[in-house]
Amino acid sequence: MTVPCYPISHHFYSKKKQEAAMASNTVAMPAPVCLIENSSTGQLHVNQQALEILSQIDQPVVVVAIVGLYRTGKSYLMNKLAGKRSGFSLGATIQSHTKGIWMWCVPHPCKPGHTLVLLDTEGLGDVEKGDQKNDNWIFTLAVLLSSTLVYNSMGTITDNSVQNLHYVTELTEHLEVKAGDGNLDISSEFARFFPSFVWTVRDFSLDLIMDGKSITADEYLNNSLKLKKGSSKSTQSYNLPRECIRNYFPSRKCFVFRRPTSENKMRRIEELSDSDLKPVFVEQTKNFCAHIFNNTETKTMKGGFTVTGRLLGRLVETYLETIASGKVPSLDNAVLALSQIENSAAVHSALTHYKEQMKERVSFPSHTQKELSDVHGQCEAAAVHIFLERCFKDENQRYQLELMKCLQKEYESICRKNKEESEKSCKALIASLFRNVEDRLNSGLYMEIGGYKRYKGDQEHVIRQYNDTPGKGIQADAILKEFLNGKETMGNMILAADESLSEQQKRIEEDQARRDAMERDRQAIQENQKVLQQQLDDQERSYKQNMEQLLKKLKEDQKTASEEYDRVLQAKLREQKDLLESGLEEKAKKLENDVRSLSQKKEETQSQSTLSRVVETVGNAASLFLPGIAGRVLGIASSLFSRFF
């Protein structure tokens, strides 16, 4: 259940709210800035200042755009949504004040951790512009960038006011869902990705009564969008904008507003408080704001990918670059272009986090390989989470595989450094401990009667000290073996020179020395095998935790896609029912194909075979640089699926 949320009292966000917003990675702008500039030549340009603001917002954004004919009071409503009396330019003459698209980012009053982005567009149909072609682009951009599109008109909803919304009928000429798709089944595709639609009717003076009964504003809108029977040219012209609105925007809402005050006071409405306005208008405005706050969804791209402020800025750049090139923006191409940028950044961000954490948490040399492995596992899991939180549309998991490869390479580098630091530490230690023995060797103290016994005793004392010293790392046995092997010749010479020992005793000592050397070899080999096995186990764990997190994300994506299809499917069924009730059987029958296609696509999104193929594909690719999973991909995948499904 949605908790009711109402416009901020006194029309101002508190200082504490602004401070909290700044502390949580959003931006509380004191006033709007131009996002898209409309030059005198009719060219649309992105404003770098606005992009810099958006680049600082890592929160999900809720985007509300308002469109409509110029001088219809759009800016007043947007200021109310911002919690302010003024901000967006209102003007008091017949001239259009807003040029291009202006942006105001404020903390969302009802959704913690979200930023509300308000987009006020220049008035459509401004006679001063002369060239009207970019009206279509302004409207199209408002549709593409928003999660709720508000269409503002004056008086009543008449055929003329519906026809003024002809920009809707021209969207197919300015948009592609897929590059080169021929706009196949475009209404269903638009319905999946378009914003919700709110029609606001200003200075409404009629009573909401039809056939002698009171009706709601929503019923008033739906009645105004009813289709006529027939196939004449005039009927088709009448029906076309209505069909487009009905098909492209299945989620529709209507608000009517009485005239707020006298005509003289209207010229300075931004100076007036609620007490200076008609109570009915104040109440209607509160209801409008509450609906927008409570019902406008977080902005998503095609595929259900959540849009942050940073991504919104990149979307603006992508669309304007396409328009400037003379091409038609494609929803698929926009998502693909952004995914390549964001996924690369996600890899970099995740890898940077891993490196920083490993540097902070690892002390060289580590006591054991498992000690290093445990820290690596924790840091790797966090890095994968960071990547999957930010990435989207990672086709064939190309970027995740790149991250896996980079993490493995970085871990191998850390393991090499750990080994090198252990070798360095162990060599320094054994040399230091053996220094007294070396001095005695150099002075010839061991080349006397009973010298071998003294030499062996001193050597064993050094070995005990070495073994008891902590912090040697994973090369302790290997370096000890290497060092003592280097002393075998000297030991044999001392043994041969010791006249206190019989030949039999010397043979016994030689046999013991060989056994000791073999034991050292065995321990060093065992230590090395343990390290290698741990590294192979690490690779298996790496693959498993990558797949576990990926499967979780893919399941969430499947759920989002299924809900998206279900929402449009239900809208199509409602539309079909409405057409049948209106006696438009032929139009209702045409929707059958859409309904079947949507149902089929919904079922496809829930397929487990798709997930199975992803896991197998990633496993086969990862086994090239993770030999620890070679030949075990299917078994690991089966184990993962048994836990997930």
Per-residue pLDDT tens digits for 200-250: 999 998 899 998 899 999 999 999 999 999 889 999 999 999 999 999 998
Residue 123 lies in a domain: yes
Higher pLDDT, 191 or 310: 310
Q: With a cut of 80, say whether residue 120 has pLDDT above it.
A: yes
Inside any domain, residue 488: no
Q: Write down the pLDDT at residue 108.
A: 96
**Mean pLDDT for the chain?**
87
d(CA 209, CA 223): 12
Per-residue pLDDT tens digits for 261-287: 766 666 666 667 777 888 999 999 999
In this prediction the pTM is 0.83
**Is the distance from CB of 162 to CB of 115 less than 8 angstroms?**
no
User: Is there a contact between 497 and 451 (Cβ–Cβ < 8 Å)?
Assistant: yes
Residue 224 lies in a domain: yes
Tens digits of residue pLDDT in 54-112: 999 999 999 999 998 876 778 889 999 999 888 887 543 333 445 789 999 999 999 99
10 vs 412, which has greater pLDDT? Answer: 412
> pLDDT for 536-552, tens place per residue?
999 999 999 999 999 99
Determine contact, residues 121/149, Cβ cutoff 8 Å.
no
Is 640 a residue whose pLDDT tops 80? no
pLDDT for 436: 93
509 in a structural domain: no
Q: How many CA atoms lie within 13 A of 306 on its CB side?
A: 18
Report the pLDDT value the prediction gives residue 596, as an integer from 0 to 100.
87
For position 475, what pLDDT does the model report? Answer: 94
pLDDT digits (tens, 9 = 90+) for 20-45: 444 456 777 989 999 999 877 778 99
Domain tally for the chain? 1
How many residues appear in the chain? 645
Domain extent for 80: 9-329
Q: Give the rounded distance of the alpha carbon of 237 from its chain centre.
A: 42
Residues 552-565: pLDDT tens digits? Answer: 998 888 888 888 88
| Spatial CA neighbour of 46 closest among 56, 54, 38 | 38
Using 50, 70 and 90 to split pLDDT, how confident is the model at 1? very low
Is the pLDDT score of 185 beyond 80?
A: no
Asked whether residue 84 is assigned to any structural domain, the reply reads yes
Mean pLDDT value across residues 427-452? 92
What pLDDT, on a 0 to 100 scale, did the predictor assign at position 96?
A: 46
In a domain, 217, yes or no: yes
Question: What pLDDT does 130 receive?
Answer: 46
CB 252 within 8 A of CB 218: yes
Sort 540 into a burial class: Cβ within 10 Å, 0-12 / 13-18 / 19+.
middle
Range from 9-23, 53-67, 576-590 that averages highest in pLDDT: 53-67
3-state DSSP assignment of residue 27: coil
Least confident stretch, 112-116, 449-453, 491-495, 638-642: 638-642
Confidence category of residue 644, pLDDT binned at 50, 70, 90: low
Residue 19's pLDDT is 41
> Tens digit of pLDDT for each residue in 365-377?
998 999 999 999 9
Q: Is residue 471 part of a domain?
A: no
pLDDT at 13 over 50: no
164-168, 346-350, 513-517, 582-586: which is most confident: 346-350
Amino acid at 138: I
Residue 409 lies in a domain: no
As a whole number, mean pLDDT of residues 458-467 equals 94
Task: Give the CATH number, domain containing residue 126.
Answer: 3.40.50.300
